[in-house]
Amino acid sequence: MPGRLRPFRGYWSIENTEPWAEMFVVKRMSAVAIAKEVGADPTTVTTWLKKHGLHVRQGMHRKLREPPKISADLAKLLGDGAEEVLRFIDEHVWGISATPDGLEQLTNYCKLVALPLEVGVVDAAASCKVVRDTIRKWVLGTDQPYLAKAADSVLHVEKVPNHKLLPLHLIAGGNAQSGWIQVPTRIQDAGEISTILKQITPLERTFERSEKFGLSKESIERMRAELFAYALAMVLGDAGKEGGQQKRATSTNLDLVFTQKQGTNELLGEFTCMCINSIGLEMERIKDKAPSGDTRRSRNPTDAYRWTSERSPLLAWMMQVALGLSDDQRTSTHQVNMEWIFNAPREFRLRFIQGLADSDGSVKPYEVVITSVPNADLVTKLLQSLEMTTAHTLYENGVPLRTQVNRKQAATLPIFNEIVQGYRYRKNLDDKRP
């Protein structure tokens, strides 16, 4: 009864001491005052207040819960609620998706930011429907919902009209992002590619690989737009694309496979890796691919060289914006939409053609043929823009299947990469024809 100190012998419980927590938080009573009010020892009161998740020293008012360690701008945005955060992300960020779990996590994080600091950790965890350890991490700033991280990354960046921010790298499946750059939502001029490249630092691996081709660091810096064009052609051509709309971010990785029947294909793969490295992304050779399908059933089944890149939103952007495909379309079945390339410098268009020819080209007795279904008309038009007057499209049942160009004229371009000088390049220069 009040006024009488009752020794603690199991009388108190988490349930019947809940009023103590309310007295401490709401009425701002000290542990000593609560003890006097309920007839308990002050040490007992302090012990149970701590079990309720309240930070307290005997005789003192509770310590206020610390606010999350975030910027004032992010706190203001989160204070407006999850829907406003999503609107901000959609307006300023390319390729970040709100999963159901991600939205729930963001909503709970917004609740925490809005809670008065008088609300203790236990009550905050209950209100936000998360465990106390999550509240602790959110307060300390050691963890954040990935949508909040994305919003915070772009809050302080001066936005460019008709551009969105995009992370080069995804960490832990998109739970964190890094290497933010600004990209156009639609390419209107080829010069926008150079603007993107100025934001990206090539990996050191770029220059290690360039030595194989006799290219100096200065040469690579001058050729960066050309290397981007070659990589873009590989995205359209031989390289497998794995990705698209992922749980948290639209991203893609490239998987490149070249037969070992031609030894120069190893250099071709390394050149492609160098191009990918030049846009700040990792790409390395992995275990050779064993023969499969028709290759396995052939007379001389041969392994294949194989390389794979990191998964990146930039590669997905190259497919969806630079090539003009939606996330549910594929390069093998849908026509690209990239009229912008026709106002690109000649060197850019040439490297793009070389990437297609190196991946999907073949040398016939009198012609070079590039198979690019269903984009043969685009290839033909590009070759004609490079003064290849003999370039024309071969149709079958009204479908554009291949582009054909006179072999001798193709050699003057050159239609195959003169830096790698692969087997197609060498064959095209060989005048020993039937």
pLDDT (0 to 100) of residue 239? 55
pLDDT category at 333 given cuts 50, 70, 90 is confident
Q: Is the pLDDT confidence value at 37 over 70?
A: yes
Q: Which domains, and CATH codes, for the chain?
A: 1-63 (1.10.10), 72-156 (no CATH), 163-332 (no CATH), 345-434 (3.10.28.10)
Q: Is the pLDDT confidence value at 322 over 60?
A: yes
Written as six digits, the tokens of 193 are 């590619």
Listed range (33-37, 285-289, 375-379) with the worst mean pLDDT? 33-37
Answering whether pTM is above 0.85, one says no
pLDDT tens readout for residues 254-274:
999 999 999 999 999 999 999
Q: Which residues pair with 361 in a beta bridge?
A: 370
pLDDT (0 to 100) of residue 65? 80
pLDDT (0 to 100) of residue 293? 64
Say which amino acid occupies 27.
K
Q: Is the pLDDT confidence value at 246 over 60?
A: no
Widest Cα–Cα separation across the chain: 114
